[in-house]
Structure formats: C-alpha cells, structure tokens
Chains A and B, each alone.
Chain A
C-alpha cells in the first residue's frame, strides 16, 4: 500500500534571513502562535507568558545567526519546544497532571461552539467530546502531546513538526499515530 503524508495544513512561507530584519513584525506575526502553543502545552498562564517572552528574547539575540533554512515559525517553535522541555525538566508542570484527575473548566467553549451547533443537546455532546480529547491529551506522554498540539492546534505539517521538535519525520508520525489512537480510545469510552 502506498502511503503518503497528508498535505501541509498551513503553507510554509519561503523566507530568507532578511525576514528577521523587522523584528517587531516577527513578534506581531508569530507571538500569538508561540504563546498559544506554550499555553496549550503548559495550561498555566504565567509560565507560558514567561516562556513566550524568553522565546522571543532568545530569537532576538540569535537573529543574526538565523539562516533561513526553515521558516521563521518553525525556527521559533523549535526555540519554544526547547524551552518547554527545559521547563518540564524543572518539574513545574502540574496542570496536565491535575487535569487527568480533576474536571476542566470548559465554559470558554461556548463561543466557538455557538456558530457550529444549533441545538443545546448537540452543543453538550460536542463539549463532552472535546473535554474527552483534552483529558486524553493530558494523559499522553510529553512528546506525544507536543506533536499532537503542533498538529491539531497549530495545524503544522509533519515536516514542520519534525523541524520544530528536532525529531525524525518517521518518529513524529509514530508519536502522532499513538496520540490519535489514545485520543480516539478515550473518546469512545466517553458515555
């Protein structure tokens, strides 16, 4: 059976080192994604904000060494993933462990579900399913969760994820497959 990778969900813009000349624009364009990825990974606002600042500070300091081998987004995500790994090593990550045991505040989901679901019942079902995905994500290994979030929250392609995490594409696929399997299992178990 011939297997191909799915098309990249978000096209990678071809850039060169000059793309970092206007660093304000880099921050403006990429800060939301970096911040979102870190917040989704950590689920704690303060460390996510600190790491976001640290990520851009490191990028700012290292901007002269950026050669444009990857997109700016991939480069920044790589810095963010490294910071995240360092942060995890410091054992300050608690939310994802807690979320596996306690209930989640998903009141925020109302806005994004409102225009998709018409009936309250359908909305409740959708909310439950999303909660189940969140819980499943909480139980994934750190690496599986990183890959899962980069794919489904940041909508990055396999190649981009490999570049951002520094792991082989085959390994990314394996982690992603296991993550999807685990999430589907969890959703199926949801009453």
Chain B
C-alpha cells in the first residue's frame, strides 16, 4: 500500500471492516496508526459519555424494583382479562338463557300445535273413534243387507 490510508479506509476500519492490507499498513505507519487510535478513542469516549449520561438520567431505574413491578403488571393484565371475560359472560349469559328459553317454548308450541292439528284433523274425538268405526261398519252392513 502506497501513501496513507484513505478516509474511506479509516472509516471502514472504525466501522469494524478490517482488511489485512490496512492492518499491515497500520502496523508500519505511525501517522495512520495515531489517527486511527485518536478516532477510536473519540468513539469510545462518545460511548462512555452516553452511558454516563444515561446513568445520570435514570438514577431511579432500579432493576430490583422492575421485576416485581413487571409481575404486578402481568397479574393486573391477567386480572383484566379475567374481569373482561366475566363481564362478557354476565352480559351474554342472560341473553343465552333467554334464547334457550325461547327455543324450548317454541319447541313446546310446535308439539302443542301438532297435537291440536292431529285432534282437529280427526272427524271424531279420540274416545269416540271406536263408535265411529262401529257406525262405519253398520253402514256397510246396511248397504250389503239391502242389496241382498
């Protein structure tokens, strides 16, 4: 490699894309080595500063408090689901039973109607039906007697 590392090569190196040519050059070239070290140090300082700022910004963030709080939130969420389900059941149950009752009534009505229909379609009430047969038999006998 002739000359020094290009700005692109230095950016690649800092971004973690490290070629063997660049590595060899950095081992030999004090100028490039110093520049890369300076810039690496700046990025490291940026990281440290950001971590320090975050730590300063969140002094109240205590991991030992977060876990119980998460469990509480999880329980509250689960309780909400249970309550919502119960509320839905409370609303749905009367409607369901009302529908069921209506269905049973409708079925009973149908049976009753069928019974009425059966009764109405008969020419004589059920207890009198043997007599009806008797009348029918006598009439037949009368017809056959008169013809003889």
Contacts and interface: CB of A to CB of B under 8 A. Distances in A.
Are A and B part of the same complex?
A: yes
Interface of A: 1-6, 23-24, 27-28, 31-32, 35-36, 39-40, 45, 48-49, 52-53, 56-57, 60-61, 106, 108-109, 111-113, 116, 126, 129-130, 133-134, 137, 149, 151-153, 155, 157-158, 173, 176-177, 179-181, 183-184, 187
Interface residues of B, number: 42
B42 A153 contact: no
Given A35-B54, A36-B51, A109-B52, A176 B63 contact: no
B18 interface: yes
B52 A108 contact: yes
A39 B17 CA distance: 28
Nearest to A105: B53
Nearest to A179: B15
A108 B74 contact: no
Nearest to A184: B11
B29 to A, nearest CB: 16
A180 B11 contact: yes
Given A36-B54, A130-B42, A153-B47, A23 B67 contact: yes
Contact of A177 (B17, B48, B74): B17
Contact of A31 (B7, B45, B48, B63): B63
Contacts of B51: 36, 153
B70 A153 contact: no
By DSSP majority rule, is chain B's interface helix, strand, loop, or mixed?
Answer: helix
B28 interface: no
B47 A116 contact: no
16 contacts: A4-B19, A23-B67, A31-B63, A35-B58, A40-B53, A45-B58, A111-B52, A112-B48, A126-B45, A134-B50, A152-B47, A157-B16, A180-B14, A180-B15, A181-B7, A187-B42
Interface of B: 7-8, 10-12, 14-22, 39, 42-58, 61, 63-64, 66-67, 69-71, 73-74
B70 A57 contact: yes
B48 to A, nearest CB: 5
Contact of A130 (B17, B46, B67): B46
A13 B101 CA distance: 64
A53 B69 contact: yes
A1 B17 CA distance: 11
A112 B50 CA distance: 10
A45 to B, nearest CB: 5
B74 to A, nearest CB: 6
